[in-house]
Amino acid sequence: MTGPAQAPEASASGLRAALAHTRHVLRGNPVTAFSFALFLMFALCAVFGPALVPYDPLASDTAASLQAPSMKHWFGTDQTGRDIFSRVITAARLDMAIAISSVALVFLAGGLSGVAAGYYLGWTDRIVGRISDTIMAFPLFVLAMGIVAALGNTVFNIVVATAIINFPLYARLARSESNIRRGAGFVHAARLSGNSEARIVLFHILPNILPLMMVQISLTMGYAILNAAGLSFIGLGVRPPTPEWGIMVAEGAAFIVSGEWWIALFPGLTLMLAVFCFNLLGDGLRDIVDPLRRT
């Protein structure tokens, strides 16, 4: 019998095994290790960047406007003299917050409703299916534009709009995988052991489809950043002068013809690198979470 004193030891042993498996995955796949390093860099920029940047990202200096990249201003300055490097680093916090919040929201709403639809079928399946079909009947970015235009271009509404347009992806994936596993042997064993249907869904079905969901989460993170940047680019996203990659690209686009290429280039490259990072991250997350790969 396992005593109370043995429970913390088992927990610590499980944590050590998970960390060892993570190290094994990162050592065995350099691309995954590179993507995790990129993600760590963006996470550090989001957490500590605003406190470490050399200039105030909102401070204007018209005497230093439109300066090319130099040792004083690594990414140059924009049309009002604001330091672009400071704004790019500071914008990571907002863009990462929008991506993480929208993905967490759609995972809870779409993932759980999809698992329930695939397991219970019947009217639950029909309701979730019709909601997904209704959302997918619209061009997704146009739907996001309509939601933000109707509700107002605040950060919260951008998060909600991004979660809504991604709902069918999570609901359909979770529904198909849950429907496949509802008749599996471990589900019957859990039911015979006295587990309720809700417990089977949450503690037996959901963990088994989590590896595929992690890949979807990683891809959706990149899409959420692109969606927020796209809304900002057309004027429906975060309001200026808030540092945000899409706004910065939009502001710099007008100056490319006159030769001030750095205003749009560096925010655009950062945006591309963030999406590239999340696209690479998916396979690594799947390998880490999938219990079959720990054997």
Biggest distance spanned by C-alpha atoms of the chain = 76
* Pick among 1.10.533.10, 3.30.70.1520, 1.10.3720.10, 3.40.50.300: CATH of 26-42+93-294: 1.10.3720.10
Q: Residues of 163-179 as b/e, b for ≥16 C-beta within 10 angstroms?
A: bbbbbbbbbbbbbebbb
User: What one-character-per-residue DSSP string does 23-91 give?
Assistant: HHHHHH-HHHHHHHHHHHHHHHHHHHHHHH-SS-TT---GGGTTPPS-SSSTT-B-TT--BHHHHHHHH
Q: Residue 280 and residue 272: Cα distance in Å, rounded?
A: 12
Alpha helices (H) along 137-154:
140-151
Write out pLDDT tens, residues 35-55.
888 889 999 999 998 888 889
- Are 32 and 26 in contact by the 8 Å Cβ rule? The answer is yes
Contact 213/111 with Cβ under 8 angstroms?
A: yes
Q: How confident is the model at residue 1, as a pLDDT?
A: 45
Domain ranges of the chain: 26-42+93-294
Q: Which residues of the chain have pLDDT under 50?
A: 1-2
Predicted pLDDT at 294: 55
pLDDT, tens digit (0-9, with 9 covering 90-100), for 89-145: 999 999 999 999 999 999 999 999 999 999 998 899 999 999 999 999 999 899 999
